[in-house]
């Protein structure tokens, strides 16, 4: 079974997920940290770093510039159903 890639643009989050000692300082991720840590140890999840400008989820959660918006739309394979054909 291939590990699922959980792409993340936050290096601190990746470090916390891989370092169980660091978890003791983080109080607001109590349940999720055990789930993520356990699945990293099992090899079910891989945590590659993704530069912020390449994080496709940003198009759904943040305002991005026009060029970046169009690039992300293309990468996601989204189309404008109202565009003239």
Is there a contact between 45 and 3 (Cβ–Cβ < 8 Å)?
A: yes
pLDDT in tens, the chain (85 residues): 677 777 777 777 777 777 766 555 565 556 676 777 788 888 888 878 878 777 788 888 888 888 888 888 888 888 888 888 7
Query: What pLDDT sits at residue 8?
Result: 75
Domain range list for the chain: 1-50, 52-84
Tokens of 32: 């999720």
Query: What pLDDT sits at residue 27?
Result: 58
Query: What pLDDT sits at residue 22?
Result: 55
**Residue among 49, 46, 56, 39 at smallest CA distance from 11:** 49
Quote the CA–CA distance of 48 and 17 in Å, as a whole number. 12
Give the global pTM: 0.45
Quote the CA–CA distance of 14 and 6 in Å, as a whole number. 10
């Amino acid at each position: 079974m291939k590990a699922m890639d959980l792409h993340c643009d936050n290096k601190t989050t990746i470090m916390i997920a891989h370092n169980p000692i660091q978890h003791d300082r983080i109080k607001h991720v109590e349940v999720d940290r055990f789930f993520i840590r356990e699945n990293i140890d099992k090899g079910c999840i891989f945590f590659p770093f993704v530069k912020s400008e390449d994080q496709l989820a940003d198009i759904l959660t943040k305002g991005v510039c026009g060029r970046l918006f169009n690039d992300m739309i293309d990468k996601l394979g989204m189309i404008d159903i109202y565009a003239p054909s």
